[in-house]
Structure formats: structure tokens, C-alpha cells
Structure 1
Amino acid sequence: MSVPEHVAQRRWLALVGIRIVGVAGAVFGMVIAARAQEWPVKVIGILLVLSALVVIAVVPASLAHRWRSPPAP
């Protein structure tokens, strides 16, 4: 059973969009950490970078695994 092409395109766009949002979050976190004067704000920036990296690594892979087509007989 194959997925229609328009569904596959939307799924691909979702994966790419998640990666782009993750990269934007990591860059934003680096800017916050670099410009911060107090250490609590630096910690928030670093945590934002780390969480964005987890999103980049885990979410697209789990969605791709969930959406994977079953093997052909």
C-alpha cells in the first residue's frame, strides 16, 4: 500500500520544517547565550540550544520511522 504523492510531499515538508525550526532555535539560543550578562540567562540560552539540537535529531527521525511504508512482499 503506497502513500499518495501529496501526502508524501506534506510529510517531507513537515520534516524539513521541523529541522529548520530546530536550527533557528539553536541559533537563537546561541545569540542569547553569547549576549547575556548574567549567568542564569546564559544557562537559558544553553538549554535552548541543547533542546533545539534534540529536536533536530529526534523528532524528524521518529516521524520518519512512524511514517515509513511497510516493506513490499
Structure 2
Amino acid sequence: MNESDKLARNRYFAMVAVQIVATVGAVFGLILAGRATSWELTMLGGAILLSGLYVMVVVPKAMARRWRTPPAP
């Protein structure tokens, strides 16, 4: 495996890791909102849920766009 293959593999793993962490955060927010006893905790759980969903969608795409191979001239 050459150096560029290792770099591509590590970048893929980084994108997958971001998706996993964001999913865990979204699930935590959902659990927090579902078990909340006050409206403040419900709002906090909802905010964590929405931010986890946002990170799940936007950050891996931004990472892929930043690491995209430039077109050949």
C-alpha cells in the first residue's frame, strides 16, 4: 500500500469517525429530551439532537470537498 492509499484510508476513517460521534451525540440529545423533567432540559436535548444531525450531514461533506483531488490539467 503506497502513501496516497494510506492517506485516503485515514481520511475515510476520519469522516466515518465524525459521523459516528455525531450519531452518538444525536442519540444522547434524543434521550435527554425524552427523559427531561423540565422544559430547559427538553430544549437542551433538542438543541443537541439538531446539532448532531447537522454535523452528521455537513461536516463529512465539507471534509470530502476539502480533500478532493484536484482535476488533472
Q: TM-score under structure 2 normalisation?
A: 0.93
**Relative CO higher for 1 or 2, CA cutoff 8 Å, sep ≥ 6?**
1
Moved over 6 A (4+): none
- The code of the aligned residue for 2:72 comes to A
Corresponding residue for residue 18 of structure 1: 18
Corresponding residue for residue 61 of structure 2: 61
% same residue: 44
User: Is residue 37 from structure 1 mapped to residue 37 from structure 2 by the alignment?
Assistant: yes
1:54: Cα distance to partner?
0.8
Q: 2-side partners of 1:24 and 1:13: how far apart?
A: 16
Q: 1-side partners of 2:72 and 2:52: how far apart?
A: 35
Gap regions ≥5 residues in structure 2:
none
Q: 2-side partners of 1:15 and 1:72: how far apart?
A: 25
- The code of the aligned residue for 1:32 comes to L
- Say how many residue pairs are matched: 71
1:72: Cα distance to partner?
2.8
1:71: Cα distance to partner?
1.7
